[in-house]
């Protein structure tokens, strides 16, 4: 009887621990996704500020660190056109595209 009770309690603990591990992974992925988006948004702000002040624009392929994330300038037009900036944090990646006129 005691062995059966211990076996059932072990199964109960294992069954409740598995979903919580999946929830933790999902939470980490959400945080990384937000960080990746903010990194891309920060890079867009850097580019817009440089364009507004007449400074040199970042070059394509340039990577800037943003906290624990990083942002890459994928496409940067010389004057007007589409800008594509990509933010990465851990396994997450977010891309922002905008038109400069």
**What pLDDT is attached to residue 80?**
80
The runs of H, that is alpha helices, within the chain are 2-53
Q: CB under 8 Å to 91, separation ≥6 — which residues?
A: 29, 32
pTM: 0.74
Give residue-wise pLDDT tens across range 12-38: 666 665 666 677 888 889 999 999 999
Q: Alpha carbon 50 to chain centroid distance?
A: 24
Which residues in the chain show pLDDT less than 70?
1-21
**What pLDDT is attached to residue 27?**
87
Give dist(CA 52, CA 38) in Å, integer.
21
Other CB atoms closer than 10 Å to residue 69's CB: what's the count?
24
Give dist(CA 74, CA 86) in Å, integer.
7
């Amino acid at each position: 009887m005691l062995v059966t009770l211990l076996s059932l309690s072990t199964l109960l603990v294992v069954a409740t621990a598995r979903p919580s591990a999946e929830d933790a992974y999902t939470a980490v992925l959400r945080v990384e996704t937000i960080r990746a988006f903010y990194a891309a948004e920060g890079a867009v702000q850097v580019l817009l500020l440089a364009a507004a002040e007449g400074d040199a624009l970042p070059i394509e392929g340039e990577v800037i660190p943003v906290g624990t994330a990083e942002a890459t300038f994928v496409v940067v037009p010389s004057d007007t056109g589409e800008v594509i900036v990509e933010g990465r944090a851990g396994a997450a990646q977010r891309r922002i595209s905008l038109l400069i006129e």
